């Protein structure tokens, strides 16, 4: 079973039930830029560090590791 | 209006599950709250690709009378009342008794290159693997300290990773001294033997420390300082964790006294798991790192105590004390070597949220002063990563938490007595 999400405007098919963080990793390691412009990706994997935060369906600052993919979901990174 | 329960259990890991189940056997109206969508905590985290062990499956079969509040993050707390943020909105719950089973976080320490994509915690990559993070064929180096490295490596291998090695900072002498005492905890010895079998062929190097991570946009190689000198090892991912620290955030917010005798405070409890607040109990890792067995026993004890069944709890005390001694053994033999504390240099980022480097903190002896002057600890993680790291490095203890406990939607905070501050569309304290 797979679901289709839209990651940074590009369609992406990923296994159903995985986290948004895992879905982004299927496409590469581009998650976000730090305040100083450095590339960042998940560190803690369990909702503590906020390094994986993305915009999901228009809501910002959501932790990708705490969210599960759903069909039609729009995910935007700022990486 | 807050929904009322006899017992509110916060955290659905092994301790919380045991507490909720034990309290429910007395006929109590119990609610079990967790930020994740599934129960299990970190150690029994749901794995999208593999079935949970039988013990975990059994522990997660909650009595029907337990009210399960998934995806509910505690953002504020007062007395024994909690404000929860859920995907569908907010919810207020209160309990005649509270059981704090908030568990632990991984201790993540700074070193040159640790902010590169591809560097994660050891338990961190284990959690990501279980969420479906692609690992097939990836070259992974596992490093840091403690038996969690072995458990993490076994999970990563099961998910298809090629583990190039496990690098343990403790010396071989210490690790052997630990292993020689393992026979006194037969269940742990059996578990260790099982892990060694699953990790057959993977080198486990003691006295070995990752000094630096290299790469441009992502990790390409690590520099390891071990018994064979300094080596550069190419890899795709580095899973590095230095053990666990108790998660005391909710206890602090409620006003429970903490035991601050060690670098990482834990919730202060008496022999019957009572915190300094009336009707508030704590169990498992939040009261000091003790491992799975401790969590399960203390969870049961707290569940009984929360409904006043003291005799049942007292009967569990001897096995609890025994299990706690195993935690002390771990702490002793896997104590961090001084060189681990010296890996970060002046140019190393300490606060990842605000990109504050260690050099910028030199002038400060207090977390609050450093925060006001440099923004260290002011970002989205609210100092959870850098605060614990600086405490471990012996710089200064973490400053106390303020509500909201986690960044929350403004709509969640509207109507509460909390002073919201605004950052994008979520308030950040």
Considering the domain architecture, whether residues B234 and B308 belong to the same structural domain is answered as: no
Q: A9-31 pLDDT, tens per residue?
A: 999 999 999 999 999 999 999 99
Which of the residues in chain B have pLDDT under 50? 417-429
Of B373, B429, B376, nearest to B398 by C-alpha is: B376
Considering the domain architecture, whether residues B76 and B171 belong to the same structural domain is answered as: no
Q: Does B133 touch chain A (CB under 8 A)?
A: yes
For B356, the closest chain A residue by CA position comes to: A36
For A1, the closest chain B residue by CA position comes to: B48
For B114, the closest chain A residue by CA position comes to: A43
Residues spanned by the domain of A61: 2-76
Of B343, B378, B348, B383, nearest to B362 by C-alpha is: B348
Q: Does B408 touch chain A (CB under 8 A)?
A: no
Measured between its terminal Cα atoms, the distance across chain B in Å is 25
- CATH number, residue A33: 3.10.20.740
Of B102, B104, B148, nearest to B122 by C-alpha is: B148
For A50, the closest chain B residue by CA position comes to: B381
What is residue B428's predicted lDDT score, i.e. its pLDDT?
A: 37
What is residue B401's predicted lDDT score, i.e. its pLDDT?
A: 76
Nearest chain A Cα distance for residue B28, angstroms? 30
Considering the domain architecture, whether residues B112 and B205 belong to the same structural domain is answered as: yes
Considering the domain architecture, whether residues B97 and B151 belong to the same structural domain is answered as: no
Least CB–CB distance from A49: residue in B117, B131, B381: B381
The structural domain count of chain A equals: 1
For A58, the closest chain B residue by CA position comes to: B425
Of A55, A31, A35, nearest to A43 by C-alpha is: A31
Token output for B150: 């072995």
What is residue A8's predicted lDDT score, i.e. its pLDDT?
A: 97
Considering the domain architecture, whether residues B295 and B389 belong to the same structural domain is answered as: no
Whether residue B424 and residue A25 make contact (CB cut-off 8 A), yes or no, is no
Considering the domain architecture, whether residues B59 and B163 belong to the same structural domain is answered as: no
Supply the pTM of this predicted model: 0.95
Whether residue A45 and residue B115 make contact (CB cut-off 8 A), yes or no, is no
Residues spanned by the domain of B307: 3-105+245-330
Nearest chain B Cα distance for residue A55, angstroms? 11
What is residue B142's predicted lDDT score, i.e. its pLDDT?
A: 98
Nearest chain B Cα distance for residue A48, angstroms? 6
Q: B385-424 pLDDT, tens per residue?
A: 999 999 999 998 877 777 888 888 888 877 564 444 433 3
Is the ipTM above a cut-off of 0.90?
Answer: yes
From chain B residues 186-225, the ones with a CB under 8 A of any chain A CB are: 217-218
What is residue A36's predicted lDDT score, i.e. its pLDDT?
A: 95
CA distances from B373 to B192, B300, B349, B366, B368 (A): 47, 45, 16, 11, 9
Q: Does B278 touch chain A (CB under 8 A)?
A: no
* Beta pairing class for B219-226 and B229-234: antiparallel
Considering the domain architecture, whether residues B157 and B229 belong to the same structural domain is answered as: yes
Least CB–CB distance from B48: residue in A17, A47, A50: A17
User: Which residues in chain A have Cβ-Cβ distances shorter than 8 Å to B405?
Assistant: none
What is residue B164's predicted lDDT score, i.e. its pLDDT?
A: 97
- CATH number, residue B115: 3.50.50.60
Considering the domain architecture, whether residues B226 and B118 belong to the same structural domain is answered as: yes
Nearest chain A Cα distance for residue B152, angstroms? 13
Whether residue B127 and residue A65 make contact (CB cut-off 8 A), yes or no, is yes
C-alpha Rg value of chain A to the nearest Å = 11
CB B76 within 8 A of CB B416: yes
B74-89 core/surface letters (b: 16 or more CB in 10 A; e: else) = bbbbeebbbbbbeeee
Last residue of a domain, one of B242, B261, B289: B242
Considering the domain architecture, whether residues B350 and B299 belong to the same structural domain is answered as: no
Q: Does B376 touch chain A (CB under 8 A)?
A: no
Last residue of a domain, one of B192, B212, B242: B242
Question: Side-chain half-sphere of B156: how many Cα atoms within 13 Å?
Answer: 34
User: Which residues in chain B have Cβ-Cβ distances shorter than 8 Å to A17?
Assistant: 48, 132
User: Which residues in chain B have Cβ-Cβ distances shorter than 8 Å to A40?
Assistant: 115, 117, 352
Q: A57-72 pLDDT, tens per residue?
A: 999 999 999 999 999 9
Of B15, B4, B7, nearest to B269 by C-alpha is: B15
Considering the domain architecture, whether residues B188 and B116 belong to the same structural domain is answered as: yes
The structural domain count of chain B equals: 3
Size of interface A-B (CB pairs under 8 A): 122
């Amino acid at each position: 079973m797979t679901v289709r999400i839209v990651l940074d405007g590009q369609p992406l098919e990923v296994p159903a039930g995985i986290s948004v963080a895992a879905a982004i990793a299927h496409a590469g390691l581009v998650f976000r830029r730090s305040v100083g412009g450095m590339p960042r990706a998940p560190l803690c994997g369990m909702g503590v560090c906020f390094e994986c935060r993305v915009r999901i369906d228009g809501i910002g600052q959501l932790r990708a590791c705490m969210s599960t993919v759903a069909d039609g979901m729009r995910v935007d990174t700022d990486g | 209006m807050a929904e009322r329960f006899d017992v509110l259990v916060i955290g659905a890991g092994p301790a919380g599950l045991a507490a909720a189940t034990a309290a429910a056997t007395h006929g109590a109206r119990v609610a079990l709250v967790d930020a994740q969508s599934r129960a299990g905590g970190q150690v029994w985290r749901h794995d999208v690709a593999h079935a949970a062990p039988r013990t975990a499956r059994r522990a997660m079969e909650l009595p029907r009378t337990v009210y399960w509040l998934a995806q509910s993050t505690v953002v504020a707390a007062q007395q024994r009342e909690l404000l929860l943020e859920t995907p569908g909105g907010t919810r207020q719950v209160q309990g005649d008794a509270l059981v704090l089973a908030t568990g632990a976080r991984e201790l993540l320490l700074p070193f040159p290159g640790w902010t590169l994509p591809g560097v994660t915690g050891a338990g961190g990559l284990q959690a990501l693997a279980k969420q479906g993070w692609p690992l097939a064929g990836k070259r992974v180096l596992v490093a840091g300290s403690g038996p969690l490295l072995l458990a993490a490596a076994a999970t990563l291998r099961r998910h298809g990773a090629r583990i190039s090695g496990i690098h343990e900072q403790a010396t071989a002498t210490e690790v052997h001294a630990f292993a020689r005492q393992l026979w006194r905890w037969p269940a742990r010895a059996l578990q260790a033997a099982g892990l060694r079998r699953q990790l057959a062929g993977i080198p486990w190097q003691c006295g070995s420390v990752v000094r630096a991570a290299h790469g441009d946009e992502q990790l390409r190689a690590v520099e390891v300082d071990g018994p064979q000198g300094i080596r550069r090892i190419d890899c795709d991912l580095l899973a590095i964790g230095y053990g666990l620290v108790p998660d005391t955030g909710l206890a602090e917010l409620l006003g429970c006294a903490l035991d601050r005798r060690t670098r990482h405070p834990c919730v202060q409890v008496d022999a019957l798991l009572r915190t300094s607040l009336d009707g508030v109990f704590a169990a498992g890792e939040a009261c000091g790192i003790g491992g799975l067995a401790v969590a399960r026993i203390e969870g049961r004890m707290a569940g009984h105590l929360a409904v006043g069944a003291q005799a049942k709890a007292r009967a569990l005390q001897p096995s609890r004390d025994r299990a706690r001694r195993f935690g002390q053994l771990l702490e002793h033999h896997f104590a961090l070597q001084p060189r681990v504390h010296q890996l970060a240099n002046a140019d190393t980022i300490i606060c990842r949220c605000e990109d504050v480097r260690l050099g910028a903190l030199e002038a400060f002896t207090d977390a609050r002063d450093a925060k006001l002057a440099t923004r260290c600890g002011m970002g989205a993680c609210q100092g959870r990563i850098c605060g614990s790291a600086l405490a471990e490095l012996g710089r200064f203890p973490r400053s106390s938490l303020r509500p909201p406990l986690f960044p929350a939607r403004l709509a969640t905070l509207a109507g509460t007595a909390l002073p919201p501050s605004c950052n994008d569309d979520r308030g950040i304290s």
